[in-house]
Homo-oligomer: A and B are copies of this chain.
Amino acid sequence: MSASRALLIVCDGLGDRPIEALGGRTPLQSAFKPNLDRLARHGISGTMDPIAPGIRPGSGPAHLAIFGYDPFRYYTGRGIFEALGVGMEVRKGDVVFRFNFATIDEERRVIDRRAGRIREGTRELVQSLNDIRIPGVEVLFKEGIEHRGILAIRAPRLGWRVSDTDPQKEGLKILPCRPLDATEESQRTAEIINDIVDQAIKILEAHPINKARKAKGEHPANAILIRGGSYYEEVSGLQERFGLKGACVAGGTLYKGVARFVGMEVLEVKGATGTYDTDFRAKFEAAARALEDHNFVFLHFKAPDLAGEDGDALRKLEVIERIDRAILGIEELRDTLIVVTGDHSTPCSIKTHSADPVPILLSGPGIRVDGTQSFDEVAASRGGLGRIRGLDLMPILTDLLNLAAKFGA
């Protein structure tokens, strides 16, 4: 009589604010989305503060919270989740960063934060960086997507609270890495990073790929910009905590990384790109198939967030409509609790994450249907679920799957 499995659909950056060009409605209010609205009509709606009211969530902390992991406890920085997302093998105690290939001038001023969005040859460039030598420290590089990569350093007693070397703006010089606390561990890590940055510039400057790029008038990848210092620790997974055998269908590495961190199986789906051109339907179908041998499937769509960050309300409306079409038939999934929500709002008006709570709906066996007629920010705010927090979601979900233990007697 209870659902035996759950499908959690997270539409990244879903929530928005009223848009004048849409008559004061949000993209979600304006979109034609019969499937999402039907789920709302057959379900219970509410709003969710992914972290807490007024806290603007990054996608990493938001997803941790939604999966039941307190981000104040488990989120150190983005690096480790990107590392897990690209399948890098990390060990307890590794300090992990993201990096960009960039183009700098002789004075270490950043000319191009993405080295001409370099795609070709990054694997060789990353391999050459593995020649970097720091006594007593293992230095590990792995290429990511386009100009991005991962740097892990491995040694006893390393800190992770250090500043980024990425100045974030072109025209500024590479920043020195500085400890952000007074510990010897962070001091040591900062020194290692500065050494790595210096050695990397020497290696990259001399690399044939960069010489060829310069000859063609392209920006050379002659430096790395480091950010997102973080620390890896193993945590008990969703199976141990909640009795959930989880699978992840996502395009973006961050989301795959968080999913791996909490013990989900990360499925590779052809056409899942984590951008506008993703194959929405293929992702939904992969998620539906994964429900056959998992009791928890996380399906992530990135596109609404991209549209929000582009400030493009019509595009956001359109990708919501594409998501709605992609989930056609969702209610035919048997014994399945369906949850649809966002990880944060990305209002087109501010082109960045906001703390506006996200709409959430739950639909399936055992749900107290609340009479909500539409899935949107305003209808959801009057729904029967009330206003919950991200960390509340997994306990509510496992209760509805009848996996929850009773507290006392």
Find the B residue at minimum CB distance from A51: B407
Chain B neighbourhood of A399, CB < 8 A: 54, 56, 354-356
B408–A57 contact, CB under 8 A? Answer: yes
With beta carbons under 8 angstroms apart, the residue of B366, B392, B394 that contacts A52 is B392
Interface string of A379-409 (1 = CB under 8 A from B): 0011111111100111111110010111111
Chain B neighbourhood of A176, CB < 8 A: none
Find the B residue at minimum CB distance from A349: B1
Find the B residue at minimum CB distance from A98: B409
In the complex, what's the smallest C-beta–C-beta distance from A252 to chain B, in angstroms? 12
Chain B neighbourhood of A382, CB < 8 A: 370-371, 382, 384
A407–B58 contact, CB under 8 A? Answer: yes
> Which residues of chain A from 32 to 84 have any CB-CB distance to chain B below 8 Å in the complex?
44, 47, 51-61, 71, 75, 77-78
In the complex, what's the smallest C-beta–C-beta distance from A163 to chain B, in angstroms? 14
> Which residues of chain A from 158 to 205 have any CB-CB distance to chain B below 8 Å in the complex?
none
Chain B neighbourhood of A75, CB < 8 A: 407-408
Find the B residue at minimum CB distance from A398: B54
Compute how far the CA of A347 lies from the CA of B9 in the bound complex, rounded to whole angstroms: 27
Copies of this chain present: 2
A228–B388 contact, CB under 8 A? Answer: no
Compute how far the CA of A100 lies from the CA of B357 in the bound complex, rounded to whole angstroms: 48
Interface residues on A, range: 35 or more
With beta carbons under 8 angstroms apart, the residue of B54, B228, B370, B405 that contacts A378 is B370
Chain B neighbourhood of A51, CB < 8 A: 407
In the complex, what's the smallest C-beta–C-beta distance from A296 to chain B, in angstroms? 15
Known A53-B395, A352-B406, A399-B354; judge A378-B368 contact (CB<8 A).
yes
> Is A377 in the interface zone, CB < 8 Å from B?
yes
In the complex, what's the smallest C-beta–C-beta distance from A17 to chain B, in angstroms? 5
In the complex, what's the smallest C-beta–C-beta distance from A373 to chain B, in angstroms? 13
In the complex, what's the smallest C-beta–C-beta distance from A266 to chain B, in angstroms? 20
Compute how far the CA of A378 lies from the CA of B385 in the bound complex, rounded to whole angstroms: 10
In the complex, what's the smallest C-beta–C-beta distance from A75 to chain B, in angstroms? 5
B1–A355 contact, CB under 8 A? Answer: no
B409–A228 contact, CB under 8 A? Answer: yes
Compute how far the CA of A67 lies from the CA of B122 in the bound complex, rounded to whole angstroms: 50
Chain B neighbourhood of A394, CB < 8 A: 54
Compute how far the CA of A109 lies from the CA of B243 in the bound complex, rounded to whole angstroms: 31
> Is A222 in the interface zone, CB < 8 Å from B?
no
A78–B409 contact, CB under 8 A? Answer: yes
With beta carbons under 8 angstroms apart, the residue of B1, B47, B52, B395 that contacts A395 is B52
Add 10 more A-B contacts to A356-B368, A382-B384 (CB < 8 A).
A52-B392, A55-B395, A58-B407, A61-B408, A78-B409, A355-B395, A370-B378, A371-B382, A381-B384, A387-B387
Show 19 residue pairs from A and B whose CB-CB distance is below 8 angstroms, ordered by the A residue: A54-B392, A54-B393, A54-B394, A54-B395, A54-B398, A55-B395, A57-B408, A58-B408, A60-B408, A77-B408, A77-B409, A350-B402, A352-B406, A354-B399, A355-B399, A369-B378, A370-B382, A371-B378, A385-B387
Q: Which 10 pairs across A and B sit closest by C-beta, in order of nearness?
A: A54-B395, A386-B387, A381-B384, A58-B408, A355-B399, A53-B392, A1-B349, A61-B408, A54-B396, A58-B409
